[in-house]
Amino acid sequence: MTLDLNWIPIADPGDARLGPFLHLPLRKATGQLTEGQFIAEGRLVVERLLRCRYRTDALLVSASKVNWASQTVLAAANEREELRTVPIYVLPDQILSAVVGFEFHSGIMGCGHRALPEVLQRQMLGWFASVPTVVKRETLIVLPAMNSAENLGSIIRSGHGLGAAGLVLSNRSADHLSRRVIRVSMGHALAFPCWRTDDWVGDLQRLRTAGFRLIGVEHHPRMQLLNTAKRYERQALVFGNEFDGLDETTLSMMDDIVGLEMHHSVDSLNVAVTTAIALHHFV
């Protein structure tokens, strides 16, 4: 252990300081989530947590991974000095799984806080400003009801990797900072701008006012094939949920509807796969 980090050895799995990491699979079901906190699981994801815009509240490390954790945290602390004081709880390997509630092999986990600095919140909400954007081309992903954490994590990874500007979620969608979404996205959920709205219909209208073309991606009688679809300087791609797709009310708001030609009686692709294909065309 390096002396200039805040190492805290713990042998008691009932230690109150481990609260953010305790019995993670049960916490969502029982409503015992700590207000504002989220969990980043695994080596690569924790590396991205340490370098992202969110605050790191604590780290949990197995005793066998201390050397790697020390190098990783020190490297990040050279860019973010506050990481030198973050508590790093070190547990014996044999009790780590009992604390988190599942077989945990990667040996490191982080607890972050979802509060963002005000300037970043303004930047995210700036998508809906009526003044022209300083970015000439922008593509947003809009998910009115994305229930699956796995699909949402995959969509975030595709969106970040393929050049989308951000993601708009309704309050019916999965939490983009849930442990599962962050893990499936390989930590890119910590860097990709996501905004949750209570008025997604109104925000669709505000996007149009701000110059975005609303494009529904859906297998539909009035769709045009994706490979012939026109690209726009500012475009919002709207995807339905896993089972019902986009409803007719939402489709009626779309400027365009595009879809993929399907074969062999396959009615559709997984929504995360469809999103990646559509992004590749439009972005």
- Sequence-distant (6+) residues with CB within 8 A of 87 are 6, 8, 17, 58, 59
Domains of the chain in sequence order: 6-113 (3.30.1330.30), 119-282 (3.40.1280.10)
Helix (H) / strand (E) element for 281: namely: helix 271-282
The chain-wide mean pLDDT, for the chain, equals: 86
Q: What is the pLDDT of residues 174-193, one digit of tens each?
A: 999 999 999 999 999 999 98
Please give the model's pTM, rounded to 2 decimal places: 0.87
Q: Count CB atoms within 10 A of the CB of residue 131.
A: 8
CA-closest candidate to residue 41, choices 93, 106, 95, 91: 106
Residue 117 has pLDDT above 80, yes or no: no
Average pLDDT rounded to a whole number, residues 54-82: 92
Amino acid 244: pLDDT: 79
Amino acid 28: pLDDT: 59
Reported confidence tier of residue 256, pLDDT bands at 50, 70, 90: very high
Residue 202 has pLDDT above 70, yes or no: yes
Amino acid 201: pLDDT: 87
DSSP per residue, 64-97 = GGHHHHHHHHHHHHTT-GGGGGSEEEEE-HHHHH
The residue whose two tokens read 């919002």 is 236
Q: Measured between alpha carbons, how far is 140 from 132 in angstroms, rounded to an integer?
A: 15
Q: What is the pLDDT of residues 122-176, one digit of tens each?
A: 455 454 444 344 456 789 999 998 989 999 999 999 999 999 999 999 888 899 9
Q: Measured between alpha carbons, how far is 207 from 5 in angstroms, rounded to an integer?
A: 46
